Each structure stands twice: as structure tokens, then as C-alpha cells.
Amino acid sequence: MDILVISEYILIASLTIFMFAAVRITTHRTVAMGLIGSATFSLSVAVLLVTVGEMHGIGFYGDIALALLVLGVVGTIAFAMALRRN
């Protein structure tokens, strides 16, 4: 096994643990913590998609990850604007 492959597997395991932490943050009582948790979860999914896409040579995983990141930022801004009005 190559050192790059080993480091990719370690990254995938770390991102999985990070996803569980993001879900725990999402389930807190305040809306702001839920928003932060969902943003971190989408970030970890995007990095996981890019990593798996590079490992298996699938190019469109990067495009899906980019769309997920862009839509996550747009959704966060829209939700923050809605909270600000109330």
C-alpha cells in the first residue's frame, strides 16, 4: 500500500468522526447551533466526495462537492436573513 492511499483512508475515517460531531452540534437547542452543525456536515460531505472521487478516478464527484458547498453557503445566508427579520 502506498502512503497516499493510507492517508486517504485515515482522512475518510477522520471525516466520518467529524460528521458524527457535526450531527451532535446540529441537535443542540438553538437554531444557530443547528445552522452551524449543518454547515459543518455539508463541508465534511463535500471533502469526503472529493477524496473518494480522487481515489476512484470519478471526476464528477468534485462537481457535486462544489455545488454542495455553493448551495450550502447560499442556504446559510438566506436562513440568516430570515432569522434577522424576526
The range of the structural domain enclosing residue 54 comes to: 3-85
Distance CA(84)–CA(23), nearest Å, equals 24
Low-confidence ranges of the chain (pLDDT < 50): none
- Total structural domains within the chain: 1
Question: Quick one: pLDDT at residue 13?
Answer: 95
Question: Quick one: pLDDT at residue 10?
Answer: 95
pLDDT digits (tens, 9 = 90+) for 34-51: 888 888 999 999 999 999
Torsion angle of C-alpha atoms 81, 20, 47, 41, degrees rounded to 10: -10
For the chain, what is the radius of gyration of the CA atoms? 15
- Assign 30 to helix, strand or coil: coil
Interacting residues of 5 by C-beta distance below 8 A, sequence separation 6+: 55
Question: Quick one: pLDDT at residue 35?
Answer: 85
Question: Quick one: pLDDT at residue 75?
Answer: 83
